[in-house]
Structure 1
């Protein structure tokens, strides 16, 4: 079972920040300032910097530490929506919840101690998790994590449901193309194909792809199809985070997304429905051989 470490997640997030902010060549990257920016201790920052140096994103400075390299890739590369600065901690909580290391119920004080967070930092993370639908505040005191997909069998069943519902949604009599939404998704998927897929975080990849599929479901005009897909995406979010990201496979799926979008924009709905079915079937087969955290 392959797991993405906190240092690797932090390296991905730091590389994304360097690219999006177009940090100038030669800019020093002190461990202390990065630890403060990404709300982690200096130990994973040190490991993340070593990973970035191996990738050629940063270089060692003669006087010590690291600085941004000139060979990090084009500064004008299209980018995804920026990752939250609390991404490493957010993903660590997701990993702990999926693996069973984090109990179903917890108080804010327990979470602050466990992850070395201030109350303000924890509030930001909890706000995001609440919006995504996998935690809720208990009456009076504490928080409760909501049910998730935590077995390979349930995960596979979710994909089979999608294969039944999503292509059918394209053929609904109430279908109305959300052209503006699809054009925005196309730009996002093109950015991934053009290189962002190599450094986007698991959460960013999941959000970009579910955003596209939910916009297509919205176009169906069938509220039950849309709600079923949204509920399933909330349930499978953490299991997706628990999988090691296969970057080459992710790039292939993004290319398929571009084909699907172009079929819809040219009003080839029957062809799009057939392509959607094959796309989901192939994605299900690919991910069934990748063992998620907590799978039994």
Structure 2
């Protein structure tokens, strides 16, 4: 268990730094890091898709919480096993920027129009322009809003209805299995072994104890890694973009735990086929996996209750 510290509260981090800290915690817990392992800033920044600066701030915050130790010359190392990252640290996985969540909920429930101004949003949420812009910048990075003329913003397509959800899965079924059959597909044995550990952990009971964020991130990590092995930049960009949009819906499905075990077992079967270099079988299993997930999600009347 991490020692007691006088670490500053997470809300003193910027929204970007909070998100990066959450993703670092999810990464460390997902991969079950041990005390003494090195957290390298550049690979983390590349994995999250951000610059080194917010990664450094997040790592310093985690060090203040007592789970990392900073070496002036070599960087940050775990001082506590990932399985013991609890308390304030694990709490990072349960929280998100309140303003971000309010905007997301209002947009999904059609309370915000397609185009808004910063002045309108500042009045609606009673926040300063600097606070609002930080959140809008994050939303822009995630791809569901873009800046228009002046201080205006235009919301882009989201997964905010059963039709949109089905369209997203049909799109994934058309590109993800094909990447496994492309001439440039090449899996990395070490990464496959790591994916197998992650998915086996879920099957063996992790689906009951992991947070919704951890479960979703493990799922998205699996699909993005397969896309990376395809060495097709457009497929990878598309899979990452869809995952960013899925987060808004799937983080709210906290009670949907049993399907996660089924999905992880299907992931393991796909990995078995890839390891045996039976890529046609792997592609067929992946297509069936995505179709099954689509059918389960669309049968659940609570998936879009936020938008009802």
- 1:45-74 superposed Cα distances (whole Å, 9 cap, x missing partner): xxxxxxxxxxxxxxxxxxxxxxxxxxxxx9
Task: Give deviations 1:65-107, integer Å, cap 9, x for gaps.
Answer: xxxxxxxxx9826899964853454333222211112232333
Runs (4+) of structure 1 exceeding 6 A deviation are 78-81
Contact 2:143 2:156 in 1 (8 A): yes
Give the C-alpha shift of residue 283 in structure 1: 0.9
CA offsets 1:150-192 (integer angstroms, 9 cap, x no match): 3323322332332233222211122111445545544544554
Question: Aligned partners of 1:222 and 1:214: how far apart in 2?
Answer: 12
For residues 225-240 of structure 1, the aligned pairs below 5 Å read 225-240=235-250
Q: Paired residue for 2:152?
A: 142
The equivalent of 2:182 in structure 1 is 172
1:140 partner SS:
coil
The 5 A counterparts of 1:91-102 are 91-102=101-112
For the structure 1 residues 295 and 89, does the alpha-carbon distance in structure 2 shift closer, same or farther, using more than 3 Å as the test? closer
Contact 1:147 1:235 (8 Å CA) reproduced: no
Aligned to 2:270: 260
Q: Would the alpha carbon gap of residues 111 and 189 (structure 1) be closer, same or farther in structure 2, given more than 3 Å must change?
A: farther
RMSD over aligned CA atoms reads 3.9
Q: Map 1:281-292 to 2 at 5 A.
A: 281-291=291-301, 292=304
**CA gap 1:179/1:102 in 2 versus in 1, 3 angstroms:** farther
Structure 1: 5+ residue runs without aligned partners?
A: 1-21, 28-32, 40-73
After superposition, the Cα gap between the structure-2 partners of 1:151 and 1:183, relative to the gap in structure 1 and judged at 3 Å, is same
Shift in Å, 1:132:
1.3
Specify whether residues 134 and 278 from structure 1 end up closer, same or farther in structure 2 by C-alpha distance, changes over 3 A only. same
Moved more, 175-184 or 196-205: 196-205
Partner of 2:83: 76
Q: How many residues align?
A: 234
State the TM-score, normalizing by the size of structure 2.
0.59
